[in-house]
Amino acid sequence: DNIIKMSVSNKKSQCLDYKNKLILAPMVRVGTLPMRLLALEMGADIVYTEELVDLKLIKSVRRPNPALDTIDFVDPSDGTIVFRTCALEKSRVVLQLGTSDASRALTVSKLVEHDIAGIDINMGCPKEFSIKGGMGAALLAEPDKAAHILSTLCSQLDIPVTCKIRILPDIFETIKLVQQLAATGIAAIGVHARTRDERPQHRPHPDVLRALTSAVDIPIIANGGSRGIHTHEDIYKFQKLCGADSVMIARAAQQNVSIFRREGLLPIDDVICKYLRLSVDYDNAPHNTKYCVQSILKELQETARGKRFLQCQTLQQICEIWQLGDYCRSRQQHYKLHGNIGRSEVVP
């Protein structure tokens, strides 16, 4: 019995470690496979997926995709790919779940457990959709429910579990909450250094994060610093300010994911080309690729090239603008020859 227990705990301790890490934060629409892979290539240690809502993921079917060498979780009703991942990121990808229910969260986690490195529960999203469903920041007001979700997952999964919260208006309440969540067995806790009602343009509160790091033993992942992160060094300045074990970056990476690069930022055209190649390699949905390129281009969408880009509807058209038309054409030809990417066999 003891031997079995030891091997179980070893198994958990051998996997993902959240200390001293640079992390791509969860971002809806941004954190899909090509961006996650590019973040890893640029130097991120861990990458979070966009938030995936349990009710949506629970309906999906796991389909290995031999043409792309990916694992797809597909909505069987319309063929939408809810989550696509691959072996390259398996040891470093954390799937963020939107949930308000422990047993549903467990069912979904079991579905994806063997294809990912960790599960994170979103407890910070202030959007109406999340709050109404009892998800995201709604869980901050229900700490017992939040703790129950986490302890259920921690006791039943072989991979580490984390959560991402926002701070509360009161520092002592925040410490109490973090201590209660830490006691569930989670491996680390991501903290966006703003309250539920504060917006991205408001200053973050690194002092609160500093207080949290001395209040719990698990790693604190500091988040919310993008406003002041313009260079790679700025990441460490924010980390130091927060006294945190690790840092998680959203907007600075959305604008230029080479922020993770120790050698310095790459010009945005280089970033776009790398991102487009990965979009082609993993047959990313064109509207998703377009959204990500738009968030890199920002005001450059007003230029003649930017306007041409905004007209694009296919991956091929987008690639033409960055001289990757031939690359896109030949890869897509290859996929056609090697099986239909959207319709591989269902594996129960």
The CA dihedral of 320, 322, 327, 328, to the nearest 10 degrees, is -50
Give CA–CA dist 139/125, Å, rounded: 10
- Report the residue number, 125 or 328, with the smaller CB distance to ligand FNR: 125
CB-based contact 73:83 (threshold 8 Å): yes
Q: Is 271 in the site for ligand FNR (CB under 6 A)?
A: no
Q: Is 25 in the site for ligand FNR (CB under 6 A)?
A: yes
Closest CA to 122 of 165, 82, 151, 182: 165
CB-based contact 23:48 (threshold 8 Å): yes
Place of tokens 């690790």: 246
CB-based contact 264:240 (threshold 8 Å): no
Residue 191 Cβ vs ligand FNR, minimum distance, rounded to whole Å: 9
Residue 158 Cβ vs ligand FNR, minimum distance, rounded to whole Å: 23
Site for ligand FNR in 81-120 (CB under 6 A): 96
Q: Is 28 in the site for ligand FNR (CB under 6 A)?
A: yes
Helix, strand or coil, per DSSP, at residue 300: helix
Active site residue 273: no
Helix (H) or strand (E) holding 254: helix 251-255
Q: Is 125 in the site for ligand FNR (CB under 6 A)?
A: yes
Q: Is 261 in the site for ligand FNR (CB under 6 A)?
A: no
Residue span binding ligand FNR (CB under 6 A) among the ranges 77-85, 175-183, 219-227, 258-266: 219-227
Site for ligand FNR in 221-250 (CB under 6 A): 223-226, 249-250
Q: Is 319 in the site for ligand FNR (CB under 6 A)?
A: no
Active site residues: 125
Using CB under 6 A as the criterion, which residues of the chain lie in contact with ligand FNR when the complex forms?
25-28, 30, 50-51, 96, 122, 124-125, 164, 192, 200, 223-226, 249-252, 254
